[in-house]
Structure 1
């Protein structure tokens, strides 16, 4: 009597590709986080804020979320990338002999859950030109512009104003590119500009309250 055999069901190609892209985004996040920690000691003054910037990590998560083709995977990739950036940063900091900040870690893990999905949606919507593209563009542009304005208004005396000017320029360039190449019609352009203004203003207001201190315990 022969033993019965069960034929395994192959993993769907699309699912396998999504899982692979998600893993790549997580590994990329770990690498970027570790590099951020090490770069704080050797970046020149005019670039030092790059390793202490919300905008740089947001852009990195957005770019990593472009790896998957499926929307759910892009959303998960951005959230995982942000979370792994924080974990990579903490691991590298410990290796360098520093203590990981529980408050900063809690802040960025919360941002990974709350903000990461929107960065993933933005990446997917711009790649495939969905209806969320104007909104997502405004969010990311608003973060870059808002952080640049905050830098000029609050920390210009201790940091490089050239970096903050570059952040504003990058946000404006991204907004113009997306409006021109992804949704050139008047209504989505106006929507994107309005969202940029709202998010930028909110960023300056919220960052002015030092939100990381809310997570200190």
Structure 2
């Protein structure tokens, strides 16, 4: 018995580690909720195109619209950055598939290939940024907020310039305001001049890079 006794805790610990933990269960539940909610919101987005007032109609037909939905859903789950990156892909792609389903119900045809690919590429960054903003680590929060602010500001600039003749300026202006508010809120929370400077630099860089690509993405979406 004395010889076997010390082995028992080790065996028990090994057995316990083979069972799913409470954290594993929370991740699975939050992932399912994100996917289901994204499918539903994607379907509603298709329907909303014909219901929203002209001032807000661009929300249902813009990169920032689905990005905002993905950010809100992932942030609500409060995952780690690694899990957030996976949820970002799951949410964005589910939004696209939900949009396809909603369009089919309305008797419309929609090819999800383009935005499905965009979701796979951009989803990890959007999801990680959302998780970082609600996290406690300063540097990831700065980079995440700057990147998301860049999404909003660049889409607002695109809307107010390239498609200004065919859309209302209201939604695009709200994008600019939301991006600015995000930067200000996160900067106030950080209370650091250096972190605030990095946040502004990240937002400016993200705005510049995304502005180069929004023309192609929006043209592909409208086509």
- Deviation string 1:152-194 (CA, Å, 9 cap, x unpaired) is 111111111111111100110011111111x221222111111
> Which residue is equivalent to 2:178?
170
TM-score by length of 2: 0.85
Q: Distance in 1 between matches of 2:216 and 2:38?
A: 27
> Which residue is equivalent to 1:46?
55
Q: Distance in 2 between matches of 1:213 and 1:123?
A: 26
Question: Within 5 Å, which residues of 2 pair with 1:155-166?
Answer: 155-166=163-174
Distance 1:110 1:184, change over 3 A: farther
Q: Distance in 2 between matches of 1:156 and 1:25?
A: 33
Comparing 48-57 with 65-74, which one deviates more in the overlay?
65-74
Distance 1:196 1:118, change over 3 A: same
Instruction: List gaps (5 residues or longer) in structure 2.
Output: 1-14
> Which residue is equivalent to 1:79?
89
Q: Distance in 2 between matches of 1:69 and 1:205?
A: 31
> Which residue is equivalent to 2:11?
none
Contact map agreement 2:62 2:218 (CA 8 A) in 1: no
Distance 1:213 1:159, change over 3 A: closer
Contact map agreement 2:55 2:168 (CA 8 A) in 1: yes
Query: Are residue 95 (structure 1) and residue 102 (structure 2) matched?
Result: no
Instruction: List gaps (5 residues or longer) in structure 1.
Output: 1-6
Aligned residues: 205
Query: Are residue 26 (structure 1) and residue 30 (structure 2) matched?
Result: no
Q: Distance in 1 between matches of 2:219 and 2:82?
A: 29
1:69 to 65, 79, 89: 79
Larger Rg: 2
Distance 1:180 1:149, change over 3 A: same
> Which residue is equivalent to 1:132?
140
Distance 1:107 1:192, change over 3 A: farther
Contact map agreement 2:145 2:183 (CA 8 A) in 1: yes
Contact map agreement 2:38 2:70 (CA 8 A) in 1: yes
Q: Distance in 1 between matches of 2:91 and 2:35?
A: 5
Distance 1:150 1:212, change over 3 A: closer
- Deviation string 1:8-63 (CA, Å, 9 cap, x unpaired) is 96421100000100111111110110000001111111111011111121111111
Distance 1:77 1:179, change over 3 A: same
TM-score by length of 1: 0.87
Comparing 167-176 with 105-114, which one deviates more in the overlay?
105-114
Contact map agreement 1:146 1:201 (CA 8 A) in 2: yes
> Which residue is equivalent to 1:3?
none
